[in-house]
Amino acid sequence: MQSAGNGWGNGLLGVIIFSGSLPATRVAVDGFSALFLTSARAVVAALIGVAVLGLLRQARPERKDLVSLAIVSVGVVVGFPLLTALALQHITSAHSIVFIGLLPLSTAIFAVLRGGERPQPLFWLFAVLGSATVAGFALSNDGSASLTGDLLMVAAIVLCGLGYAEGAALSRRLGGWQVISWALLLALPLMAPVVAWTWPSTWSGVSAPAWIGLAYVSIFSMFVGFIFWYRGLAIGGIARIGQLQQLQPFFGLALAGFLLHEPVAWSMIAATALVVACVFFARRFA
């Protein structure tokens, strides 16, 4: 019970941290190109990861782990950040909630394919119901659409689900923060030249919010959040803990209401209650 509670606690903290990722990315792409933002966040996070690995004298991963680390790099270090940054040039961060609501289902599918998990049939019922609730809520509150942006987000969700499941499975042996640190280091030789290539010619037009957005996605979205998220997935089960992502859009809206004083509609409260119920039953049948 203590391990299960620890898994849910770590997973929930990771989701809360990730809740600010898309809004921060949306702000950041107003000041930086998508390629620079993707590569810069990866390089900053990689430098943090390398420093921590060195300070704590972590052993190098085995050769057999390199394929899994490469999958994590492609999924969550390069693929998801780049594709969402490109998508958010065409759609709003609110519209992207539609696709974040599908991320738990994507993670659960790859938990079966890559993590060897076998949830019960009723798990899939509640996982689909929860994802449909989030998507329906988002669509009812935002009518903006772009085929390009939507297709980019679909690709981002697929890669992210793969990266989450692969990293969580590897975390059972290496540890959560070690996995993301090694994955970032593996991507560094690719990301560093991209930073130099896409380096802005001038910084005068970059606003303070864009800098804050870059800092958030570099430190929290790209590193700190994964420490808790991968630990939660490894301890509590990838498919089971992954359902907590259904709450991510609502955390983001709640933060907007608290920090920006935006109104919180009754429909949000009702949808959140239904999603919480779906997460509860998905956990029971995972």
List per-residue pLDDT tens for the chain, 286 residues long.
Answer: 456 678 889 999 999 998 888 788 888 888 999 899 999 999 999 999 999 999 998 888 988 899 999 999 999 999 998 998 898 888 776 667 667 777 888 888 888 877 777 777 787 787 788 777 767 766 665 555 577 888 898 899 899 999 999 998 898 888 888 999 999 999 999 999 999 999 988 888 889 989 999 999 999 999 999 999 999 988 888 878 888 887 877 776 676 566 545 555 666 667 667 777 776 676 666 5
Is the CB of residue 59 less than 8 Å from the CB of residue 256?
A: no
Pairwise CA distance, residues 108 & 272, whole Å: 20
pLDDT score recorded for residue 109: 83
Supply the DSSP symbol for 201.
Answer: S
The alpha carbon dihedral of 89, 94, 95, 101 has a sign of positive
Burial pattern 115-136, b for ≥16 Cβ within 10 A else e, equals bebebeeebbebbbbbbebbbe
Q: What is the DSSP letter of 204?
A: T
| Contact of 183 with 45, CB cutoff 8 Å | no
Cβ atoms of 107 and 238 closer than 8 Å? yes
Length reported for the chain: 286
DSSP one-letter code for 244: G
**Single-letter residue type at 125:** L
Tell me what pLDDT residue 229 has.
Answer: 92
What's the CA gap between 221 and 56, in Å, rounded? 22
pTM for the model stands at 0.82
Which DSSP symbol is given to 123? H
Q: Please say whether the beta carbons of 38 and 81 come within 8 A.
A: yes
Q: Write down the mean pLDDT value for the chain.
A: 83
Pair 243, 279: CB distance under 8 Å: yes
What does the alpha-carbon distance between residue 253 and residue 265 come to, in Å, rounded to a whole number? 10
146: three-class secondary structure by DSSP? coil
Nearest to 5 by CA among 249, 231, 179: 231
